[in-house]
Structure 1
Amino acid sequence: MDAPREFDPATLDGLDRGIVGIDGLWCPSCAAAVGRAMTAVPGVTRAQVSFAGGSAALAWEDGTDLGAVARKVSAMGYRLTAPETGGGMEGRIAAEMRRVAIRLAVAVVFGMWTMMLSILLYLNPDNIAAGATGRALALAAGATALPVVVWAGAPILLAGWRTARVGVPGMDSLVALGVTGAVAASFWSLSAGHSEVWFDTSVMLVTLLTLARLVEMATLRQSSRAIAALRAALPETARRIGADGTAREVLASSIRKGEVIRVAAGERVPLDGNLVTGDSSFDTSIMTGESAPREIIQGSAVEAGFVNLSRMIEIDVTAAVGARRIDLMGVDIATALHDRPEIHRLADRLARVIVPLAITLAVLTLVIGLVMDLSAEAAGLRALSVLIIACPCAVAIAAPVSHLAATGAAAASGIHFRTQAASESLGSVRRVLFDKTGTLTEGRPVLRDVHLRAGIERGRALALVAAAEHEVVHPVAQALREAGGGGLVATGSERFENGVSATVDGSDVLVGSRGFLVRNGIELPEEQHDTAGQTAVHMAVDGSWTAQFLLGDAVRPDATGTLSSLRETGIVLGMASGDAAVPCAHVGALVGLQAGEIWSDCTPEDKAALVEAGPGPTAFVGDGVNDTLAIVRADVGIAATDASAATIALADVVIARGGVAAVGKAIAISRKARRVLRQNLVFSVAYNVLALGLAAFGTVPPLAAAGAMAASSLMVIANAGRLRAGAVKSETSEGEDEHSGAATSPGQRADAFTDESSTKKADA
């Protein structure tokens, strides 16, 4: 892989935020230290560094010297670089994942033997622990644990030491304390001639944290693919118009602000700019999510990603590659991805309490024991028991095992929790915002009704309109073709603004908007039908009005019932759409939303602002590229069924099947997971506090402490297992209902929200 390019502050001129690469990071504590150093530079308001991504999300005030940031980082032994995106970033993360995966494999292979040998010592059949056999087993357990601790656990131990040294110990420090304490105690016990060892504790902690780091990097790799997908949606080349008026195809990245480019009909616009030729219609779905075309007049702005539908156009470029609106969306998305999940912050805060408490209590136990005239060995054993009890096995695995159980329960229903934070946070949301098109609706126009002139057969009208629209690149035209079939062939077809003219089966056919037919001298009947939320297309044959076709986006069948069930649980609902007010109001009324719960004409930035402005925690459910910014800004981002690749890659929760109803089921599963997690954490902390007190007074010997620690971990795992067991039972019940033909409405699904209404007070 080529070395990353040196960072050039000039590339961020005129901006107030951006992503920069950092070369040389080799542990999470390094990233934390670099982040603190960056925020110390005057003018830098935010610096969030990702070790796995090798990058930092920066925000700064106007006039800030970004060169000073680069010099500050360089003084620490690292180097700012141009950010890696797409394949470069994904390649770096993939390489790091391979290294972590190898460490995990070593931890599992060698740790398995350590655990087996330790179990034999705990069970102690025929009192083998007291003899030479027990000592041999203890030595063997230590030998198999060494590769796990020394090699697989080296990054964790180093990170724990560095974060503790600078005064901000995190989960790495907590785990490092448990690992070093267990290993040191085991070697001390072996040197004293005993067979009591605690190598299994160190192995378990290293394996669990290494697994968690691998999962975190896998999530980040998906996110890097999403950012690359935003750019992949745009053409890499553009036609630059030279001084002589000729167009030449060049790389889009070589075009600067003020130059003029040409875009043919059917092509995607590569750069932001103003339309300098005649009007044209555009597919703006990449930004609005709406498949209906939008008319843009000369002098108005067009954006990279729009599809030109009507005619050859010329654009005066106003934003080069890197400064386009879609590029800034990518920066905002990457910035949001650098935020640490709340579950990580909670673990770090817990670690900052437990680490100094455990060390202080162990030292006090040793000192008090010596003051009380206990022997050095007896006082040391008490202090050792305190350290073993403090090993955070139950605390460290409480969240991961709850997440794994919730993930398994959700996967059975086609729901994928892609992050640990999501499986816990979704159950706490108090507001859910939905995109409209493709989320609450099917996402594409379909023929809903046909009104005909007397004497015209429906089949004949559909065949004529399908033939006339045969060559039109347009979602509405595609819907008409699908409805009409391919029985007739058009000749002499000609496209106009808002319509098309063709000769079909010997007849002159005009298809288009009401205004298009009026301009061509066609007399149309007065509107007699409600067209709210629908697109009306008219057709005239041989100079006479013949038919009106009404197309609309159908509401998903489970949307109304699901939203009703969500509202009953106390969740605040809303819909944010890039579509116009009338169709939004129409769909909102169908799914039971009030006028104050509907936001129309929303840009991607508007949706993100709505997510952050209202009462939280908030979940956002969407399916398109235009939803990605809101997805990452929300406390929990949910990708609806059939979502775009970019949305799926960025979402915390992905609905693979089940439609809108699966959103309700995901919330119910998460609420159960939150209850289990709270139970596990309360039990784990209570166990540690009680056991630490007993160990300090010498009532818990080291071997019993190790056994109690193992028992607490097993209880945490067993409690989390109830989630998966409940899911299996639920799926079985559903299967029996379906087999027997029992029908339930979306709002009455037994597993959607049944007992969750009663948890409202508990979660509040």
Structure 2
Amino acid sequence: MADAAATAQLHEDVLIVEGLHCGSCAAAVEALLKRQPGVVEAAVNFAADSAMVRFDTTRTELSRLQHAVSKLGYRLLSPGEEGASAGTTERLRRRLLIRLAVALVFGMWCMMPAYLVYLAPLGIIEPAATWPLALASGFFALPVLLYSGGHFYRVGLRTLRVGAPGLDALITLAVFAAVGVSVWRLATGHADVYFDAAVMLITFQLIARFIDGRVRRRAADVVRSYLSQAPETATRLHEDGRLERVPATDLSVGQTIQLASGEPLALDATVLAGDGEVDQSLLTGEHEPCRVSPGDSVRAGCRLLAGELELCVTAPVGERRIDALARSVRGLLSRKTALQRLTDALARILLPIIVSAALAAAALALLLGLGAEQAATRGLAVLIVACPCALSLAIPLVVVIGHARMVADGVIFRDPAALETAADTHVVVFDKTGTLTTNTPRVADVMPARRGDSADLLQLAVDTLADTAHPVAHGLAASATPSPGAADGQRYIDAGLGTRWEHAAACVLAGRPAWLRQQGIEVPPSDDARMTLHLAHNGRYQGFIAFEEALHPDAISTVHTLQQRGHDVYLLSGDTRASCLRQAERLNIAPEHVVAGVTPEAKQRFVEALEKRRAVAFIGDGLNDGLALAGARLGIAVGEATPTARAAAAVYLPDGLSHVPTTLMLARRARRLMRQNLGWAIGYNALALPLAIAGFVHPVIAAIAMTLSSLCVLLNSLRMNVRREAGK
């Protein structure tokens, strides 16, 4: 064993599973993967359409696993094929809608004659008409049974084949039993049929699948959002100097590309020639643009603000840092939460329990001398009454019914699974740049070289940087407007260093102090650690303007409210520690709760480490926050968050930070209602099964009881709309 362990070469991949319709599909694929030679661990998640597989490469390979899964009717896609499953997902959604529409229309027609048969003992219709009405009920049920329910039969048989039967297998068994008994009753001239019970079973499950699919599928959107940050094409520089725009997928390591000012980068690369200023805030969270020169590394997704670069590709599509982040997010979203694991486990153990109960009911009837017909009826009643429709609706209904209330309160709720631990949330971790602060720096101090010239110095800076793209220019524009002659003259930008503005007989320099010194300007030393803009006019130093990040208007009140409610608040950022500490002081966040200079992966690890001790909510807005938002049990994207952040988060707050406390309150209520629904669904089965076994429940009453059970779950879920005082 030791030798085998030593020679094993374990490889872990997060793969895409195409064709999943439900949790039972995922369970079947997972069971099949675990049985493959060389597979050490496998976990398939329906909510993320993904599979985490760890296997020994000396005993198997990915192509074998893909072949095994394909025989079950699904496709296992390797990394880099994320986009291939998007069209299939939409097709599956449309097919589900069509099946549901057929079930609703023909289900109503099926139930109308069935209800007339039920009312026959009251003398409403002639006894002779009951058999034709029963036949009509079966006729109208055919489209539902043959088309709408077809998916349940296929998946039920698949899960039985791989030894992982779940809800689909139970539905299949109950429908087949109801139809079989009904056909037998019609053939013997009786009108007591149960086609309507089978139709109700299929319809309720289709509704549950539709609701569940709407609120829980988001991992594919996250991956596409990540990859959309990098353009699909790049400008290739040939050896003869010719430039050609080509798809990014056609470029390989070592090839040369060119990046112009204002363009986003498609591939990870190293700078060969040129200087420039790069905005890396999406990937790192640093609010200040970064100057790059030959030898520096840049990542796909960053944007060149100024300059022109010649670069050497260091990572092709599929191996870029942004690809790794996308796969990591999918892996995080693939984790099964407590309620997911509970409902999956219940669905698995209910099948053998219910089948055994049905057989016991039939056997008891035979022992009591009631005959085969009565025995079959009792067994059928058990199968119908115990079918866990309420269990499958317990969580999705809370989400869907509460969605309108949440939107009205400025909360866009995306993932019910993340709300399970919200009631226990003790720690709130904020990203800084763009979340607590705005993306535009604010003028903090104007420090003229000569006393009394503050307004003139500010106006000079505004005119010099008029119509430039640098963030500092936007910050200046918020403090003053350019003079009428600001558009005159010529501007020369030295990327990442400064701007020269020549107009009339004047020459103004605005930029970093080192750059001004290179131009022969005598700049006094300064220990100011803030972002500063130094200016000189006609060779004479005029002073500098200091900038600071502007806090969002709701930042201070939101942090204060959370602290008052007993939450520990942390500030987590990729920016410098000095910048983070300045903002923490304004927000009354303790210095020991400030973590600075961290990468996206480090953010996720920090949140994960905190969650080992206490439940955490992470709040962010940028691409670099995607991992932490997906990994946190409660990820919240706020304000003008990037599409990636919105997709990765469980909750999106378009109106900003002020709704964070409201979100936590609504999340606590949602989890409480989910638990109540699950408790009711389990209690219903525990009560109904013994009664059905004892013969006190007719199949028709069983179908009604099943409906009432789902109705109770619905009514309890409606309590999500009841308004209460904040914090309750």
Match of 2:474 among 467, 472, 478: 478
Matched to 1:94, the amino acid is E
Q: Does 1:619 align with 2:588?
A: no
Match of 1:324 among 320, 324, 345: 320
Which residue in the other structure is 1:592 paired with?
A: 588
Alignment of 1:494-505 (within 5 A): 494-496=492-494, 497-504=496-503
Alignment of 1:304-453 (within 5 A): 304-340=300-336, 342-422=338-418, 424=420, 426-452=422-448
Q: Which moved more, 1:464-473 or 1:316-325?
A: 464-473
Which residue in the other structure is 1:716 paired with?
A: 713
In structure 2, do the counterparts of structure 1 residues 417 and 69 end up closer, same or farther at CA, with 3 Å as the change threshold?
same
Q: CA deviation at 1:578?
A: 1.4
Distance in 1 (CA, whole Å) between partners of 2:114 and 2:434 is 55
Distance in 2 (CA, whole Å) between partners of 1:704 and 1:457 is 88
| Preserved contact between residue 285 and residue 291 of structure 1 (Cα < 8 Å) | yes
SS of residue paired to 1:305: coil
Alignment of 1:626-637 (within 5 A): 626-637=624-635
| Preserved contact between residue 21 and residue 84 of structure 1 (Cα < 8 Å) | no
Distance in 1 (CA, whole Å) between partners of 2:37 and 2:96 is 36
Which residue in the other structure is 1:266 paired with?
A: 262
Alignment of 1:227-306 (within 5 A): 227-243=223-239, 248-277=244-273, 280-306=276-302
1:166-222 Cα shifts (integer Å, max 9, x gaps):
322223234434444444455556566665555444334323433444455556875
Match of 2:695 among 691, 695, 698: 698
Q: CA deviation at 1:147?
A: 1.8
Matched to 1:592, the amino acid is N
Q: Does 1:645 align with 2:640?
A: no
SS of residue paired to 1:466: helix
Matched to 2:201, the amino acid is L
| Preserved contact between residue 570 and residue 594 of structure 2 (Cα < 8 Å) | yes
| Structure 1 residues without counterparts, runs of 5 or longer | 1-13, 731-749, 756-764
| Preserved contact between residue 94 and residue 221 of structure 1 (Cα < 8 Å) | no
Distance in 2 (CA, whole Å) between partners of 1:703 and 1:214 is 26
Q: CA deviation at 1:231?
A: 2.7
| Preserved contact between residue 623 and residue 639 of structure 1 (Cα < 8 Å) | yes
Alignment of 1:483-494 (within 5 A): 483-487=479-483, 488-494=486-492
1:517-549 Cα shifts (integer Å, max 9, x gaps):
344454556769xx66x5222223334443433
Q: CA deviation at 1:158?
A: 2.0
SS of residue paired to 1:321: coil
1:481-504 Cα shifts (integer Å, max 9, x gaps):
443323222423222352112135
Which residue in the other structure is 1:673 paired with?
A: 670
Matched to 2:508, the amino acid is V
The number of residue pairs the alignment matches comes to 714
1:460-498 Cα shifts (integer Å, max 9, x gaps):
444322221135332222322443323222423222352
Distance in 1 (CA, whole Å) between partners of 2:556 and 2:192 is 62
User: Could you tell me the TM-score, scaled by structure 2's length?
Assistant: 0.86
SS of residue paired to 1:578: coil
| Preserved contact between residue 424 and residue 674 of structure 1 (Cα < 8 Å) | yes
Which residue in the other structure is 2:149 paired with?
A: 153
| Preserved contact between residue 173 and residue 351 of structure 1 (Cα < 8 Å) | no
Q: CA deviation at 1:41?
A: 5.0
Distance in 1 (CA, whole Å) between partners of 2:442 and 2:182 is 71
SS of residue paired to 1:101: helix
Q: CA deviation at 1:120?
A: 6.4
1:544-587 Cα shifts (integer Å, max 9, x gaps):
44343332322223333333444455545433211111122222
In structure 2, do the counterparts of structure 1 residues 236 and 354 end up closer, same or farther at CA, with 3 Å as the change threshold?
closer
Matched to 1:654, the amino acid is Y
In structure 2, do the counterparts of structure 1 residues 367 and 560 end up closer, same or farther at CA, with 3 Å as the change threshold?
same
Matched to 1:661, the amino acid is S
Matched to 2:470, the amino acid is H
Q: CA deviation at 1:717?
A: 1.6
Q: Does 1:109 align with 2:108?
A: no
1:43-99 Cα shifts (integer Å, max 9, x gaps):
555555577988755455676644444555567687766667576432222222222
Which residue in the other structure is 1:661 paired with?
A: 658
Which residue in the other structure is 1:516 paired with?
A: 515
Q: CA deviation at 1:690?
A: 1.7
Alignment of 1:719-758 (within 5 A): 719-724=716-721, 726-727=722-723, 750-751=725-726, 753=727, 755=728
In structure 2, do the counterparts of structure 1 residues 34 and 276 end up closer, same or farther at CA, with 3 Å as the change threshold?
same
In structure 2, do the counterparts of structure 1 residues 48 and 396 end up closer, same or farther at CA, with 3 Å as the change threshold?
closer
Matched to 2:403, the amino acid is T
SS of residue paired to 1:484: coil
Matched to 2:663, the amino acid is A
Distance in 2 (CA, whole Å) between partners of 1:428 and 1:188 is 54
SS of residue paired to 1:553: strand
Q: CA deviation at 1:458?
A: 5.3
Q: CA deviation at 1:154?
A: 0.9
In structure 2, do the counterparts of structure 1 residues 201 and 625 end up closer, same or farther at CA, with 3 Å as the change threshold?
farther
Q: CA deviation at 1:123?
A: 7.6
In structure 2, do the counterparts of structure 1 residues 517 and 71 end up closer, same or farther at CA, with 3 Å as the change threshold?
same
In structure 2, do the counterparts of structure 1 residues 710 and 223 end up closer, same or farther at CA, with 3 Å as the change threshold?
closer
In structure 2, do the counterparts of structure 1 residues 456 and 136 end up closer, same or farther at CA, with 3 Å as the change threshold?
farther
In structure 2, do the counterparts of structure 1 residues 26 and 536 end up closer, same or farther at CA, with 3 Å as the change threshold?
closer
1:680-719 Cα shifts (integer Å, max 9, x gaps):
2222222221222223223344444444333333222212
What percent of counterpart residues are identical?
36
In structure 2, do the counterparts of structure 1 residues 144 and 453 end up closer, same or farther at CA, with 3 Å as the change threshold?
farther
Q: CA deviation at 1:122?
A: 6.8
Matched to 2:668, the amino acid is R
Which residue in the other structure is 1:551 paired with?
A: 547
SS of residue paired to 1:445: strand
Distance in 2 (CA, whole Å) between partners of 1:561 and 1:124 is 67
Q: CA deviation at 1:412?
A: 1.6
Distance in 2 (CA, whole Å) between partners of 1:160 and 1:199 is 20
Q: Does 1:542 align with 2:538?
A: yes
SS of residue paired to 2:438: coil
Q: Which moved more, 1:596-605 or 1:163-172?
A: 163-172
RMSD between aligned alpha carbons? Answer: 3.7
Distance in 1 (CA, whole Å) between partners of 2:110 and 2:419 is 32
| Preserved contact between residue 409 and residue 669 of structure 1 (Cα < 8 Å) | no
In structure 2, do the counterparts of structure 1 residues 590 and 246 end up closer, same or farther at CA, with 3 Å as the change threshold?
same
SS of residue paired to 2:270: strand
Matched to 2:515, the amino acid is F
| Preserved contact between residue 181 and residue 388 of structure 1 (Cα < 8 Å) | no
SS of residue paired to 1:276: strand
In structure 2, do the counterparts of structure 1 residues 373 and 214 end up closer, same or farther at CA, with 3 Å as the change threshold?
closer
Distance in 1 (CA, whole Å) between partners of 2:687 and 2:492 is 84
| Preserved contact between residue 465 and residue 481 of structure 1 (Cα < 8 Å) | no
